[in-house]
Structure 1
Amino acid sequence: MYKQLILSIGTIFLFTACSLKMPSWPSFLSFGDNYESILEEANSCQVIEDENQKLSCYKNIEKTNSFAQIRLGTYYADKKVYKQAIKYLEMAKENDNIYANLPLAFLYYKGEGVTKDVNKSFELLEESSTKDPTAAYQLSRFYIQGINTKVDNEKGVELLEFAASKGVLSAMEMLINISKNGLFEQPKDQKKVDYWQKKIKETKEDINHKIYRL
């Protein structure tokens, strides 16, 4: 479900998204006691294999659980049922879940279910980029290519490094390419190439996408 959406984001935002697996939750996804309990509740639905039963589980908690709202929103966006997608994602945003920003930014960038608004997409990603590494990864393209802002290669690479440090495999791959070829005003640096290649081998899966999976 969300795999298709995140792959679409990768295509639109230049870089290729990684496959989704079932990693453990990293420490940086800590929101405090209230969010931890909501996340645990949503994850009890995520482990259900039957899709209809899983949807039913999420819908039983959709009014109070912002992670359920995000996962339902991305599910319906993938199904191109945009009215439902926007409803759930806006609910999650209203409930102060910063992870709703990434799928909303994608919809605004494409103009799917909403009026196309690249400025809104940029703002949503910028707002969440300090907490959501995948949002930081996507925002890097805006700075590197000067989309909706002036070109700022230093800022773009900084965002990539943050995303890579939090386990976004595509960001690691991009940094390898940058350091190997001296792209975006960065010097060639074999030490950085070796460093990120080592990190990729150590990182069994991209830990950041599971939050959006149904």
Structure 2
Amino acid sequence: MKRQILSTAIIAFMFTACSFKVPDVLSFESGDKYEGPLKEANICQKMERDNDKLACYKKIENTNSFAQLRLGTYYADKKDYKNATKYLNMAKENGNIYANLPISFLYYKGDGVNKDINRSFELLNESSSVDPVAAYQLSRFYLQGINTKVDVEKGIELLDFAGQKGVRQAQDMLSNIYKTGLFDQPKDKVKYEFWQNKLKNNVEDNNHKIYVL
């Protein structure tokens, strides 16, 4: 029974790399290097039609790393990996740490690049202290022993960071862990109810909108 529960949880925990359309956006402190570029890019994001958004992003694609990031994830979702890698690498080269997550998806699946789990791991590790969605994805590597030794303590630590920052999947995973005792963790009603309340009150996971066209 325990094995069946664990298998179900792991299946639900897999990367969703086949689509980058993941669920105003992240707010940064005044003076943060991301604040200005994100505000400019969000003007495009608020437009209703994709064609208008694309035209808007194209106008700032050479100077705005969030425009590059969103164009990259858009083209990856369309399976246009030539343009996806072009724009995502531009964003990373321009110092946008949030580009690590979608690039890691490409390496994990081998879409448009040579499959490289080690590179995927490195990219997530590099950005996990900043990007809570990257932290959530990296937790899977540690909890399942992908490209590294199983380290449940590290995996839970990453999940906790992501959950505290509002990543719904992490909150859901943590509530399941403490409800059922996944990964040999002791069942904990207090922690289960804590994460259930977090999940219930987290109507919209704003972390993901940073990547969306």
TM-score for the superposition, normalised by structure 1: 0.88
Instruction: Give a deviation string over 1:71-113, Cα, whole Å, max 9, x none.
Output: 0000000000001000000000001100000000000000000
Residue 30 of structure 1: how far off its partner (Å): 4.3
Instruction: Give a deviation string over 1:140-182, Cα, whole Å, max 9, x none.
Output: 0100010000000000011000000000011011001100111
Residue 204 of structure 1: how far off its partner (Å): 1.3
Residue of structure 2 in register with 1:142 after alignment: 141
CA gap 1:131/1:59 in 2 versus in 1, 3 angstroms: same
Instruction: Give a deviation string over 1:49-87, Cα, whole Å, max 9, x none.
Output: 111111000000000000000000000000000010000
Residue 39 of structure 1: how far off its partner (Å): 0.6
Q: Does 1:173 align with 2:176?
A: no
Q: Which runs of 5+ in 2 are unaligned?
A: 1-11
Give the fraction of aligned pairs with identical amino acids, expressed as a percent: 64
Name the CA distance, whole Å, in 1 between partners of 2:180 and 2:115: 34
> For the Cα contact (< 8 Å) 2:142–2:150, is it kept in 1?
yes
> For the Cα contact (< 8 Å) 1:18–1:206, is it kept in 2?
no
Name the CA distance, whole Å, in 2 between partners of 1:131 and 1:90: 18
Residue of structure 1 in register with 2:208 after alignment: 209
Name the CA distance, whole Å, in 2 between partners of 1:185 and 1:129: 24
Residue 11 of structure 1: how far off its partner (Å): 3.9
Alignment partner of 2:15 out of 12, 15, 22: 12
Residue of structure 1 in register with 2:72 after alignment: 73
Name the CA distance, whole Å, in 2 between partners of 1:138 and 1:86: 20
Q: Across the two proteins, how many residue pairs are aligned to each other?
A: 200
Q: Which runs of 5+ in 1 are unaligned?
A: 1-8
Divergent runs of 4+, >4 A:
none
Instruction: Give a deviation string over 1:26-47, Cα, whole Å, max 9, x none.
Output: 44x4483442111110000001
Name the CA distance, whole Å, in 1 between partners of 2:97 and 2:13: 20
Residue of structure 2 in register with 1:104 after alignment: 103
The one-letter code of the counterpart of 2:154 is K
TM-score for the superposition, normalised by structure 2: 0.89
Name the CA distance, whole Å, in 2 between partners of 1:31 and 1:72: 25
What secondary structure, in the 3-state scheme, does the structure 2 residue paired with 1:213 have?
Answer: coil
C-alpha RMSD of matched pairs (Å): 2.0
Name the CA distance, whole Å, in 2 between partners of 1:31 and 1:123: 29
Q: Does 1:25 align with 2:25?
A: yes
Correspondence list, 1:113-124, <5 A: 113-124=112-123
Name the CA distance, whole Å, in 2 between partners of 1:26 and 1:115: 31
What secondary structure, in the 3-state scheme, does the structure 2 residue paired with 1:184 have?
Answer: helix
Residue of structure 1 in register with 2:8 after alignment: none
CA gap 1:171/1:31 in 2 versus in 1, 3 angstroms: farther
Residue 12 of structure 1: how far off its partner (Å): 2.9
